[in-house]
């Protein structure tokens, strides 16, 4: 199950992070949002700062300039000339709106802040300042003005939805859930709030509720696979991997599953013992990936080799080698050679080929203990002196000394040199105590005594 949890994190980021954040970004472009935003130029004298007669005349000139083509800069200049510490907060607010529309968010935030300092209960200034914080990714900073908006009487879905989003992005999932539920109550057709709620339910391990909500979202918007992918992750967390596999296969048939989902699918099949299906998923992932993660793909080959799916492992390894071309690093080359050697050994395609591959690995990395020990084993039956040469080279590498001494000792025992094998076994036990090696040492010790009698 640990493997599922590791992969789950990456999939959550894909489904609930980047994709959803991009969709939320569309709010700034939607006609409904722009209409509501433009409405914020109006005056609400009963709850917002008042303007003097003179200030009203200035505002009328500003609004007239704003209605003309390419006159916004003149409106900005006029407002800046009239903004003073004693002037109405409406001036600061209107100037901030103009900067917001021009995407000059720093100046917009500066003037929303000054409007709030002049008139702390300026509801719309709090709301628009929060929008800027959300767009800038400053979610902690957005919480206070969004909450203040609600305290000042705002009761609409967008504010609650953005509050839920800000709480979710700061990992405060319980208040995020509450805010999303209120947003859905007020804007039941807005799918972003439902997907956000799904995300917070998932993070609180309320997987059953998340699955049910994903079902609803899939029916409402069948053209998207995001909901199904999130549902699959929920099933993984509930330790129902084959239900997740069914969903991944469905997504792949209807939408073409994302590459990470195919890797996850392959891992599920491996854990459940469906090795050929795992190989198929890994191959699909590799064939579709324009910029493959070769390290991940080589790990997939290792998995297939360890599960004796040699034909599939060989096919995937060949595909990887074909696409890597000259971009392969020495480390990757060495890893692929080791895999080739294991495949040759497993399929019995010739000891000579295995030795050649291992020799090439040692040329690339003279301190590769694995390859040195494997060469020692290879030559053990045909050329004991050469085998001992490789074992002694491996002995000089700390991490492999214990195994190299053990293999060397075993070779000596095969030829009846029990007494010479004992110090090697004793040192191997000092470095890496093991019950099976201890028993072997005792057997060799008895054989040595019998020989000397």
Q: What is the pLDDT of residues 270-284, one digit of tens each?
A: 999 999 999 999 999
Q: Which two tokens stand for residue 352?
A: 């000579």
What one-character DSSP code corresponds to residue 400? G
Q: How many residues does the chain have?
A: 453
Q: Which two tokens stand for residue 232?
A: 């699959």
What one-character DSSP code corresponds to residue 274? -
Q: Where are the beta strands (DSSP E) in 224-356?
A: none
Contact 302, 343 (CB under 8 A): no
> Which CATH architecture describes the domain 43-139?
Alpha Horseshoe (1.25)
Residue 428's pLDDT band, with cuts at 50, 70 and 90, is: very high
Decide whether 43-139 matches 366-453 in CATH topology: yes
Query: pLDDT of 36-86, one tens digit each?
Result: 444 454 555 556 788 888 988 888 888 888 777 667 888 888 999 999 999
Neighbours of 18 (CB within 10 A): 10
Of 296, 276, 225, which is closest to residue 6 (Cα–Cα)? Answer: 296
The answer regarding whether domain 366-453 maps to CATH 1.20.1630.10 reads no
Residue 292 CA to residue 22 CA, distance in Å, equals 24
What one-character DSSP code corresponds to residue 291? S
Q: Which residue has the tokens 């021009």?
A: 102
Q: Which residue has the tokens 């539920």?
A: 181
Residue 119's pLDDT band, with cuts at 50, 70 and 90, is: very high
Q: Which residue has the tokens 């709620």?
A: 197
What residue ranges do the domains of the chain occupy? 43-139, 366-453
Query: pLDDT of 204-215, one tens digit each?
Result: 999 999 999 998
Contact 282, 260 (CB under 8 A): no
pLDDT at residue 349, rounded to an integer: 56
């Amino acid at each position: 199950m640990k493997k599922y949890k590791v992969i789950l994190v990456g999939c959550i980021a894909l489904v609930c992070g980047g994709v959803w954040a991009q969709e939320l970004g569309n709010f700034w472009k939607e006609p409904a949002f722009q209409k509501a935003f433009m409405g914020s130029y109006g005056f609400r004298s009963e709850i917002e700062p008042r303007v003097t007669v003179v200030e009203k005349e200035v505002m009328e000139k500003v609004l007239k300039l704003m209605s003309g083509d390419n006159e916004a800069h003149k409106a900005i200049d006029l407002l800046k000339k009239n903004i003073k510490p004693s002037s109405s907060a409406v001036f600061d607010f209107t100037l901030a709106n103009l900067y917001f529309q021009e995407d000059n968010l720093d100046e917009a935030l500066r003037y929303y802040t000054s409007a709030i300092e002049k008139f702390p209960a300026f509801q719309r200034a709090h709301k628009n300042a929060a929008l800027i914080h959300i767009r800038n990714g400053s979610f902690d900073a957005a919480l206070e003005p969004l909450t203040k908006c609600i305290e000042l009487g705002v009761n609409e879905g967008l504010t609650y939805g953005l509050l839920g989003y800000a709480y979710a992005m700061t990992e405060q999932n319980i208040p995020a859930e509450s805010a999303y539920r209120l947003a859905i109550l007020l804007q039941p057709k807005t799918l972003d709030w439902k997907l956000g709620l799904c995300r917070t339910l998932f993070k609180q391990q309320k997987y059953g509720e998340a699955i049910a909500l994903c079902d609803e979202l899939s029916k409402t918007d069948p053209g998207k696979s995001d909901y199904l992918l999130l549902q699959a992750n929920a099933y993984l967390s509930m330790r129902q991997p084959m239900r997740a596999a069914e969903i991944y296969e469905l997504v792949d048939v209807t939408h073409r599953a994302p590459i990470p989902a195919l890797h996850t699918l392959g891992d599920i099949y491996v854990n459940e013992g469906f090795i050929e299906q795992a190989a198929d998923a890994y191959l699909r992932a590799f064939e579709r990936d324009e910029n493959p993660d070769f390290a991940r793909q080589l790990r997939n080959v290792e998995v297939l080799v360890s599960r004796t799916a040699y034909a599939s492992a060989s096919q995937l390894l060949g595909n990887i080698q074909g696409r890597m071309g000259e971009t392969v690093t020495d480390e990757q080359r060495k890893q692929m050679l080791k895999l080739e050697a294991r495949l040759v050994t497993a399929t019995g395609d010739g000891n000579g080929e295995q030795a050649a591959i291992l020799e090439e690995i040692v040329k690339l990395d003279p301190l590769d203990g694995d390859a040195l020990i494997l060469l020692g084993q290879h030559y053990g039956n045909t050329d004991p002196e050469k085998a001992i040469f490789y074992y002694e080279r491996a002995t000089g590498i700390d991490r492999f000394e214990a195994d190299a001494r053990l293999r060397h000792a075993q070779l000596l025992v095969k030829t009846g040199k029990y007494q010479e094998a004992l110090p090697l076994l004793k040192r191997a036990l000092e470095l890496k105590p093991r019950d099976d090696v201890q028993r072997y040492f005792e057997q060799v010790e008895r054989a040595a005594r019998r020989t000397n009698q």
